């Protein structure tokens, strides 16, 4: 290993590990990466097939213009307040590229999305974690932190906790740097922080088509924010970061509001059923505003996860405090949840 | 403008500007961004349509496993020696992320791909340009440069110059850091630097499906190199940087060797015709090993470019020394080249 060729600041680096993706069609019940249990809109599939033609020889629009316009229309914004990324993860990364110099502080509540910390390493930023305890509310120490960038996943993952707009606004108002609100799960929550854009110049909302649009396989995210911050992000992104098929899919997805509404409402209904059934099995739960539930089984989490795995059921477990006793379970279809609950009954009783 | 929110090290930053992408189907002759004049393989279109299904609700393989395997088979390598990116540009960026600390030197001959310099700014690296003159050969000063990363576009753009393997190997052998050879255009050149992988631990080859596979619209590139360098790149990439449709397309594209061969051979034939006709019109030319020609018109380049633009023909012009007098023209179809040559005849005579 020519380890000396790797950057010095990445020696000993532990990258973010995504949840396991078993090969398709092998009968797994996959409740570990918060994908949608329901498929994308049929209009998205049609749009992709229509775009799969000889024009693929040409680069996409560097601004993903049609997708920006469709998203802007949907949220009542100007297209200059929207940019599109290769998944929400790319947009988080672009916030570092645009707003964080080497040595700058990046603050976030913990536990949270485990990508934030490795991104600090990659960008030579100083992570400034703000630990929270049950019930995982927004920590008061976050607002006065002088970080260049604050990252707030809202709803948060893996906890599913939702921070109301007023609390987030208090952080935004007290911050001299950027506050990026990762709203990947917000469609399953009571409301978005979108109104903050009207009154604040330092706030960005990051969204994704991966969850509530059923398009994790396509990698499309978007950011909403003041035009000058969007311009800063655009200046540091790859020229053609979103491909022609993803652009076509994004337009079709955002325009099929009925499919989106139905998908969200089915997930919210199933979330309620799942939470109720887990409580009946003796799990501790915090209320979830996302497309997953975070629950503490009455037996050691690692044991429960292993038992599920034997039965080809995948859930997510972060083996670190203060959440080592908890597991995160994606809301599934009714059938998936019945399989899960039957397995859990065997494992915990 | 809340300019103070942008990173200090990006104040005054001039981002890379990609060539103009006019809206489709408006009758432009587009010879400015080195896209393939011929479409991708019909098998690629079929593969995309087959993959456009409900499984898009699931994340792609984080390793793009099937694409890695197909590419490895094609080049007689192990899959651990291959990684896949969201276009070749992402792979260049990932070389910075994996191998360049803030303050490190990044060396490259100039003129070259104008993305390298802004990437240095973004990653707080010190650019170490090595100027070349006509006929744009590899500068002797490059080999002893103590840079952490050297970037060699081979064939080079916009010059079209090709550096033979022996010369490149001299640089690789003299370098303590990584040498990344951007082989985006190599399929149109006499040979690849692939054999260097057998004898050197510090060399990476970057490739793309955008040019010789006719897939600029899809954003797929790949890197070939020693397994430990590939692992380092993988550790800093987004988890799901290549989507399901792109993975399916990459596999189909790499496996349709006949389509690829025919595409390359048509482009090489048209390149010869174009170069000959331009010489007849009084253009200066250097031999090109890429899918474009770099030519100095007998009139000021800006004037020629403007005249072409009036006629809805786009070519690329970099208005800076030592290449301000030159234009880069993508090899087109026979029909496109006839339109171009007819227009040039009017403009330069």
Task: Report the sign of the C-alpha dihedral through residues A156, B235, B249, A51, in that order.
Answer: positive
Which residues of chain A make contact with B259, given a CB cutoff of 8 A?
Answer: none
What percent of chain A clears pLDDT 90, i.e. is strictly above it?
93
Interface of A with B in 184-213 (CB under 8 A): 201-202, 210
**Arithmetic mean of pLDDT, A125-135:** 95
Task: Mark which residues 309-328 of B lie under 8 Å from A by CB.
Answer: none
Beta bridge partners of B185: none
pLDDT at B3: 52
CATH number corresponding to B20-39+258-348: 3.90.1150.10
CB contacts of A235 in chain B (<8 Å) are: 10, 13, 15
Instruction: Classify each residue of A120-151 as buried b or exposed e, where b means 16 or more C-beta atoms within 10 Å of its C-beta.
Output: bbbbbbebbbbebeeebbbbeebbebebbbbb
Residue A231 pLDDT grade (very low, low, confident, very high; cuts 50, 70, 90) = very high
Q: What is the phi-psi region of residue B119: left when phi exceeds 0, alpha when psi lies from -120 to 50, beta otherwise?
A: alpha
**Position A21 confidence tier, pLDDT thresholds 50, 70, 90:** confident
- Is A57–B216 a contact, with Cβ atoms under 8 angstroms apart? yes
| A228/B2 touch (CB, cutoff 8 Å), yes or no | yes
What is the full per-residue pLDDT of chain B (349 aa) written as tens digits? 355 788 998 988 999 999 888 876 578 999 999 999 999 999 999 999 999 999 999 999 999 999 999 999 999 999 999 999 999 999 999 999 999 999 999 999 999 999 999 999 999 999 999 999 898 999 999 999 999 999 999 999 999 999 999 999 999 999 999 999 999 999 999 999 999 999 999 999 999 999 999 999 999 999 999 999 999 999 999 999 999 999 999 999 999 999 999 999 999 999 999 999 999 999 999 999 999 999 999 999 999 999 999 999 999 999 999 999 999 999 999 999 999 999 999 999 8
Mean local confidence (pLDDT), A152-172: 97
**A202, A175 contact by CB (below 8 A):** yes
pLDDT band at A3 (very low <50, low <70, confident <90, very high): low
pLDDT, tens digit (0-9, with 9 covering 90-100), for A44-68: 999 999 999 999 999 999 999 999 9
At A274-331, the pLDDT tens digits run 999 999 999 999 999 999 999 999 999 999 999 999 999 999 999 999 999 999 999 9
Q: Looking at the domain A42-255, which fold is it? A: 3.40.640
Beta carbons of B243 and A239 less than 8 Å apart = no
Q: How many helices (H) and strands (E) does chain A have?
A: 10, 12
Predicted local distance difference test score (pLDDT) of residue B1: 39
Contact flag B58-A9 (C-beta cutoff 8 Å): no
| pTM (predicted TM-score) | 0.97
Query: Helix %, strand %, coil % for chain B, to 5?
Result: 40, 15, 45
* Domain segments of chain B as ranges: 20-39+258-348, 42-255
Measured distance CA(B309)–CA(B214) in Å, rounded: 24
For an interface test with B, give the residue of A44, A57, A81 to mutate (most B CBs within 10 A): A57
Helices marked H in B83-162: 88-99, 116-122
Q: Which region among A132-136, A231-235, A331-335, B44-48 has the lowest average model confidence (pLDDT)?
A: A132-136
Given an 8 Å threshold on Cβ–Cβ distance, is A35 in contact with B44?
A: no
């Amino acid at each position: 290993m020519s380890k000396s060729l790797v950057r010095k600041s990445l020696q000993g680096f532990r990258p973010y590990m995504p949840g396991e993706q078993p090969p398709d069609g092998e009968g797994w019940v996959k409740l570990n990466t918060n994908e949608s249990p329901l498929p994308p809109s049929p209009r998205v599939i049609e749009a992709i097939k229509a775009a799969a033609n000889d024009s693929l020889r040409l680069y996409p629009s560097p601004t993903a213009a049609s997708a920006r316009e469709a998203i802007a229309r949907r949220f009542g914004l100007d297209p200059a307040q929207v940019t599109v990324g290769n998944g929400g993860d790319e947009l988080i990364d672009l916030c570092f590229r645009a707003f964080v110099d080497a040595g700058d502080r990046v603050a976030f509540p913990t536990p949270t999305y485990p990508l934030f910390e490795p991104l600090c390493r990659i960008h030579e930023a100083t992570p400034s974690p703000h630990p929270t305890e049950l019930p995982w509310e927004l920590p008061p120490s976050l607002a006065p932190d002088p970080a260049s960038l604050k990252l707030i996943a809202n709803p948060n993952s893996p906890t599913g906790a939702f921070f109301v707009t007023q609390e987030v606004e208090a952080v935004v108002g007290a911050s001299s740097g950027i506050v990026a609100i990762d709203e990947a799960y917000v469609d399953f929550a009571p409301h978005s922080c979108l109104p903050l854009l009207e009154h604040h110049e330092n706030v960005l909302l990051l969204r994704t088509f991966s969850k509530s649009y059923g398009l994790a396989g396509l990698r499309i995210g978007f950011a909403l924010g003041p035009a000058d911050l969007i311009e800063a992000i655009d200046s540091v992104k790859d020229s053609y970061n979103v491909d022609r098929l993803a652009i076509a899919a994004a337009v079709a997805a955002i325009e099929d509001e009925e499919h989106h509404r139905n998908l969200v409402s089915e997930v919210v209904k199933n979330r309620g059923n799942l939470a109720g059934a887990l409580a009946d099995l003796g799990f501790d739960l915090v209320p979830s505003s996302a497309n997953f539930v975070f629950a503490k089984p009455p037996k050691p989490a690692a044991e429960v996860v292993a038992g599920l795995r034997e039965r080809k059921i995948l859930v997510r477990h972060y083996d670190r405090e203060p959440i080592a006793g908890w597991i995160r379970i994606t809301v599934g279809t009714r059938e998936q949840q019945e399989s899960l609950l039957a397995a859990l009954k065997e494992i915990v009783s």
